Amino acid sequence: MKAKNKPVKFRSDCPISSALDLFGDTWSLLLVRDMVYFGARTFKDFSEAAEGISSARLSDRLTKLESLGIITKKKHRSNKKVYLYQLTTKGYDLFPVIADLVLWSHKYLNHHISDAAKQFANMLEDDREGTINMFLNK
């Protein structure tokens, strides 16, 4: 059965609530992270992330992000059973939000996060703009 593409319902004309109406959940930004930070490109890549998203949920989140224009989906050029997901500019532009989450967690959940993440946070603290741009290969 095809994914039921419910139109997004905006609760108000506030940019914050509207953004949350689009990707204010526990998975959407993680998929963006997987792509920017870990280079995830296939369904399987996302499935293997540490948080263990279920395939049902992954499927509908990818569909939603695609319908929002945050990612694109293309066929692999040589392997017919693989699809490739890619971030659009609209998707890459969510990275600053993610960077701020990293900074906040580095400050308030320090004991809990990985060393690699701490390193990234330190870079962000040192030079937010530069680090974000470097990560986005600009």
Question: Which residues contact its own copies (rule: CB under 8 A)?
Answer: 10-21, 24-26, 29-30, 33, 50-52, 90, 93-94, 96-98, 100-109, 112-114, 117, 121
CA 4 distance to own-chain centroid = 21
Question: In the 3-class helix/strand/coil scheme, how is 15-74 assigned residue by residue?
Answer: HHHHHHHHHCCCCHHHHHHHHHHHCCCCHHHHHCCCCCCCHHHHHHHHHHHHHCCCEEEE
For DNA, the closer CB: 12 or 54: 54
Q: How is residue 75 written in tokens?
A: 């066929």
> Residue 111: which of DNA, its own copies, none does it interact with, CB under 5 to 8 A by kind?
none
For its own copies, the closer CB: 19 or 82: 19
> Residue 62: which of its own copies, DNA, none does it interact with, CB under 5 to 8 A by kind?
DNA
For DNA, the closer CB: 63 or 67: 63
